[in-house]
Amino acid sequence: EGLSYNFYDQSCPQVENIVRAGLQSASLIDPTTPSAVLRLLFHDCQVEGCDASILLDPDNIRTQYSEMASPKNFGIRKRELINNIKSNVEAICPQKVSCSDILVMAAREAVALSGGPRISVPLGRRDSNKAPDFKLADALLPSADFGVDSMLHLFSKKGLTVEESVAILGAHTLGITHCTNLQSRLYNSNNKATNLVHENILRMICPVGSSETTFVPNDLTSLLFDNHYFINTLRGHGVLKIDAEMPLDPRTGPYVKTFGDDQEAFFKAFSSAFVKISNSDVLIGNQGVIRRRCNERN
């Protein structure tokens, strides 16, 4: 399909080490770096494939051409970290390594560095050279109140099985959710509340009209890539609507239980899902470009 496991063996053998070093030093300064980088990869791949489109800054003339203008990208961070790693790579191997591959490698390191599996990822992606209108990102990124139906539909389009779809949501073992993303779940929906005590705690942390800076951790070990997300949701302690629904739905519930009991089973299904997501709709061969700077068009 055009990607390969030894793509940079000749042209830039140091690239994996450079990316790993970049992730490690950034995580020492800010331990929430891995969660931000993992979400950044998903939001890139979800809009016109993994082509580093999310990293492009708006130019002065056409400000709507930046995915960051979409409210669905609220809370996206660490785009500049990928720019910095790219500069380090350019210093050693100029014009060889795409920003999209750097982002995939960085997300892979983010998972491994947090205690998750070390995932082998095929490389050879190319970068897009123009950002889509932010309305496309708006249409393609999942909204905070997605339920099981919409989630399974979204991931089946990427070729994920139901088991892999449940596993990839285990990415929420890392990071946080801002209260602004929980308003509709907590205050004006007829959602299937699972654990009233837990929902009341969420309401206390996130009152009506919470400021944009308040947040809750996605699980109790939000810096560790482990299976606590599943254990949490099984207890009815899920944060998002999808977390509350997955254990109850007959299609997804059995996998939530398996992953809550067996971390290795979670890691295995997460790894294959991660590879599928990061291979979806990629530019290869002569398509696209290798951007010189990740945040600007060539």
| DSSP strands (E only) in the chain | 176-178, 215-217
Check residue 176 for interaction with ligand HEM (CB under 6 A).
yes
Stretch that binds ligand HEM, among 59-67, 92-100, 114-122, 143-151 (CB under 6 A): 143-151
Contact 251, 156 (CB under 8 A): no
Neighbours of 253 (CB within 10 A): 17
Nearest CA to 162 out of 85, 250, 61 is that of 250
Among 173, 180, 233, 263, binds Ca ion (CB under 5 A): 173
Q: Restricting to residues 34-53, which ones interact with ligand HEM according to CB under 6 A?
A: 35-36, 38-39, 42
Q: Restricting to residues 35-94, which ones interact with Ca ion according to CB under 5 A?
A: 44, 47-48, 51, 53
DSSP three-state, residue 64:
coil
- Which residues are known to be catalytic? 43
The residue among 65 and 218 lying less far from ligand HEM, judged by its C-beta, is 218
Stretch that binds Ca ion, among 130-138, 200-208, 216-224, 273-281 (CB under 5 A): 216-224
Instruction: For the chain, give the number of residues.
Output: 298
Binding residue per annotation — 9?
no
Packing angle of the helix pair 99-113, 33-45 (nearest 10 deg): 140
DSSP, res 251:
T
Check residue 221 for interaction with Ca ion (CB under 5 A).
yes
Binding residue per annotation — 47?
yes
For the four alpha carbons of 44, 50, 53 and 56, in that order, the dihedral sign comes to: positive
Q: Binding partner of residue 44 among ligand HEM, Ca ion, none, CB under 5 to 8 Å per kind?
A: Ca ion
Q: Binding partner of residue 151 among Ca ion, ligand HEM, none, CB under 5 to 8 Å per kind?
A: ligand HEM
Among 104, 105, 121, 168, binds ligand HEM (CB under 6 A): 168
CA distance linking residue 23 with residue 269, whole number of Å: 24
Contact 185, 198 (CB under 8 A): no
Rg of the chain in Å (alpha carbons): 19
CB of 146 to ligand HEM, least distance (A): 4
> How distant, in Å, are the alpha carbons of 45, 155, 242 from that of 147?
20, 13, 5
How many residues bind to ligand HEM according to rule CB under 6 A? 25
User: Residues in the site for ligand HEM, rule: CB under 6 A?
Assistant: 32, 35-36, 38-39, 42, 75, 77, 142, 144, 146, 151, 154, 168-169, 171-172, 174-178, 181, 240, 242
Interface ranges with Ca ion (CB under 5 A):
44, 47-48, 51, 53, 173, 219, 221, 224, 226, 228
